[in-house]
Amino acid sequence: YCERDERTLFRGLSFTVEAGEWVQVTGGNGAGKTTLLRLLTGLARPDGGEVYWQGEPLRRVRDSFHRSLLWIGHQPGIKTRLTARENLHFFHPGDGARLPEALAQAGLAGFEDVPVAQLSA
């Protein structure tokens, strides 16, 4: 279950999403859509109960789950004011050793320091 501001958002919620299936989450403002997505992605923990992924509690397999996660939202994931290099580093912080390879694979070699708003799709 999950509560926010002393209000129960979910209780007894249980569903399974099989490979190849899609889920659409809709609801009014304050209904708990974002809270549900935060719970399902491991960015928040339920007040009670457990979120499972491939039969394992998400809290135990969070890293492998995040490596397989795909997000399709209503806002672009790319920060248009940042360069291609900065975007990659923002989403995959670290020493940056693999950034040149990733940029080359995306066809962005030579455009590393150009703000992505100036690049064409």
In the chain, the largest separation of any two C-alpha atoms, in whole Å, equals 53
DSSP 60: T
**Cα gap 2→79, rounded to integer Å:** 31
**Could you read off the pLDDT tens digit of each residue along the chain, which spans 121 residues?**
888 888 888 888 899 999 889 888 888 778 888 889 889 888 888 999 999 999 999 989 988 888 888 776 666 678 888 899 888 887 777 788 888 998 999 889 999 999 999 987 6
pLDDT at 88: 85
pLDDT at 75: 66
Contacts of residue 33, Cβ cutoff 8 Å, sequence gap at least 6: 25, 26, 27
Q: Is the pTM of this model over 0.95?
A: no
Contacts of residue 55, Cβ cutoff 8 Å, sequence gap at least 6: none
pLDDT at 73: 67
